[in-house]
Amino acid sequence: MNAFVGKWKLIAWENIDPILSVLSIPEEQKAALLSNVIFEIEFPEPNVIKIKSNLALLSNDVLLPINEDFEAVTQEGTRFGGFAERISDTKIMYTQRHPIFQVTATSEVVDDENTLIANFLGVRSTFKFRRI
């Protein structure tokens, strides 16, 4: 899973308006929000992925156990659960169980690009990141 380790900059996206709408991101803030998104991924333990971000929507580091169910609480107090599954050394699948909606996402690293495909509210959104 070392393919995921490092810093990643968002370089392209498709069909993300439904996600931004649910998150109450106004259209005029969309470009500023997406222009400099950087994630840092590390594995502090063998089966735990840690995601750090400069994205204001993720004010805390995110820790996801790999291949086991987890529960978390949002900043607003909403409880949700999920499962992050290691498909291969270069591919992770994530399923979030939320009281209102479910998100499934697949992240795959090929060369120095990480493509995240998320299915959210019946819409398939794509995010492409490049290693920096």
Which CATH number do you get for residue 53?
A: 2.40.128.20
Render pLDDT for 3-20 as a digit per residue (tens, 0 to 9). 999 999 999 999 988 888
Render pLDDT for 78-119 as a digit per residue (tens, 0 to 9). 777 899 999 999 999 999 887 777 889 999 999 999 999 999
Render pLDDT for 15-35 as a digit per residue (tens, 0 to 9). 988 888 877 788 888 888 888
CB within 8 Å of 115: residues ≥ 6 apart: 107, 108, 126, 127, 128, 129
Q: Give the number of domains in the chain.
A: 1
CB 124, CB 15: distance < 8 Å: yes
pLDDT at 66 > cutoff 60 = yes
Instruction: State which residues form the domain around 69.
Output: 2-131
Cα–Cα distance measured from residue 92 to residue 105, given in angstroms and rounded to the nearest whole number: 8
Residue 74's pLDDT band (cuts 50, 70, 90): low
